[in-house]
């Protein structure tokens, strides 16, 4: 074991107990909101996914340098995702801005180093570890699209939003990156500071799918207890 690897291991031993998960305190709420049956839907948080913010112009030297490390090309079309949706994949956020996400391993200090090293001196580009910037919420099940359609101003029908598509959009009033990672699986990436609100908003939408009469249930929840003198 090298000195660098020993230092990294020691750092992780110290840091791991201190790491905060934006929505972990809502785990019981998410589990309790699960819906079964024809409109089944579940919500969970995928903890500590690797997220590297990349800046490069496709087709230029900086892009080629990053692609050599990624092992996949940077997306060139709006909404396109390249790579393995169950491992390392790249989302296109703007013409020269990308987010590399790896859901197959946990973030560790220095995870961005190979990308930074690929951008040699004088090569324009950027690689920054953004793993703590957003959390990854996973909405899954036959009713998942219905939950999202309550709050997203996008056509989420498979003919328009197929598996392997990603969009930066608003869910309710919260900026998110929305990724369709499977036929019935959606990943929602809000800023960590909005995780609590985002989870509660989605859970509220899930509640209607498990109710025989959502209008009556909603009305009951909105009634305030009588105030006694």
How much is the mean pLDDT over the chain?
88
pTM for the full predicted model: 0.84
With respect to residue 14, please indicate whether it lies within any of the assigned structural domains: no
Instruction: Say if residues 127 and 54 touch (Cβ distance below 8 Å).
Output: yes
Examine the domain organization and report whether 140 and 124 are in the same domain: no
Instruction: Say if residues 128 and 97 touch (Cβ distance below 8 Å).
Output: no
Cα–Cα dist 51/190, whole Å: 13
Looking up tokens 């230029």, which residue turns up?
60
Cα–Cα dist 5/58, whole Å: 34
With respect to residue 119, please indicate whether it lies within any of the assigned structural domains: yes
Examine the domain organization and report whether 114 and 169 are in the same domain: no
Rounded to the nearest 5°, which phi and psi values hold at 42? Answer: -130, 160
Total tally of structural domains belonging to the chain = 2
User: 8-21 pLDDT, tens per residue?
Assistant: 555 657 666 667 78
Domain boundary among 131, 162, 195: 131
Average pLDDT over residues 157-184: 97
Cα–Cα dist 115/228, whole Å: 64
With respect to residue 155, please indicate whether it lies within any of the assigned structural domains: yes
Domain boundary among 131, 164, 182: 131
The CATH code of the domain that includes 183 is: 3.30.1360.120
Examine the domain organization and report whether 148 and 203 are in the same domain: yes
* C-beta atoms surrounding 118 within 10 Å: 19
Domain boundary among 131, 166, 189: 131
Cα–Cα dist 56/130, whole Å: 16
- 229 — pLDDT class (breaks 50, 70, 90): very low
Rounded to the nearest 5°, which phi and psi values hold at 136? Answer: -120, 115
Domain enclosing residue 43, as ranges: 22-47+135-211
Examine the domain organization and report whether 43 and 53 are in the same domain: no
- Note the pLDDT of residue 213: 53
User: 113-142 pLDDT, tens per residue?
Assistant: 999 999 987 788 999 999 999 999 999 999
Cα–Cα dist 80/88, whole Å: 14
Average pLDDT over residues 153-175: 96
How would DSSP label each residue in 158-193?
TTTS-TTEEEEEEETTEEEEEEEEETTEEEEEEBGG
With respect to residue 139, please indicate whether it lies within any of the assigned structural domains: yes
Which tokens is 127 given?
């690689």
User: 21-53 pLDDT, tens per residue?
Assistant: 899 999 999 999 999 999 999 999 999 999 999
With respect to residue 171, please indicate whether it lies within any of the assigned structural domains: yes
- Note the pLDDT of residue 120: 80
User: 99-108 pLDDT, tens per residue?
Assistant: 999 999 999 9
User: 197-215 pLDDT, tens per residue?
Assistant: 999 999 999 998 985 555 5
More confident of the two residues 3 and 21: 21
Examine the domain organization and report whether 35 and 72 are in the same domain: no
Which tokens is 184 given?
């019935």
With respect to residue 227, please indicate whether it lies within any of the assigned structural domains: no
With respect to residue 219, please indicate whether it lies within any of the assigned structural domains: no
- Note the pLDDT of residue 215: 54
Examine the domain organization and report whether 43 and 156 are in the same domain: yes
Examine the domain organization and report whether 199 and 142 are in the same domain: yes
């Amino acid at each position: 074991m090298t000195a660098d690897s020993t230092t990294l291991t020691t750092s992780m031993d110290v840091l791991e107990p201190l790491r905060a998960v934006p929505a972990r305190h809502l785990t019981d709420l998410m589990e309790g909101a699960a819906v079964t049956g024809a409109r089944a839907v579940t919500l969970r948080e995928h903890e500590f996914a690797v997220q590297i913010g990349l800046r490069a112009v496709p087709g230029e030297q900086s892009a080629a340098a990053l692609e050599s490390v990624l092992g996949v090309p940077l997306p060139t079309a709006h909404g396109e995702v390249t790579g393995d949706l169950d491992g390392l994949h790249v989302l296109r956020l703007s013409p020269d801005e990308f987010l590399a996400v790896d859901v197959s391993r946990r973030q560790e200090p220095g995870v961005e180093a190979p990308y930074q090293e690929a951008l040699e001196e004088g090569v324009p580009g950027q690689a920054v570890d953004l793993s703590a910037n957003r959390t990854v919420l996973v909405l899954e099940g036959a009713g998942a699209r219905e939950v999202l359609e309550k709050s997203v101003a996008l056509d989420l029908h498979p003919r328009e939003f197929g598996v392997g598509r990603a969009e930066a959009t608003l869910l309710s009033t919260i900026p998110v990156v929305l990724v369709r990672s499977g036929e019935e699986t959606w990943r929602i990436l809000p800023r960590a500071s909005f995780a609590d609100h985002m989870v509660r908003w989605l859970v509220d939408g899930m509640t209607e799918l498990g109710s025989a009469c959502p209008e009556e249930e909603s009305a009951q929840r909105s009634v305030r207890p009588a105030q006694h003198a």
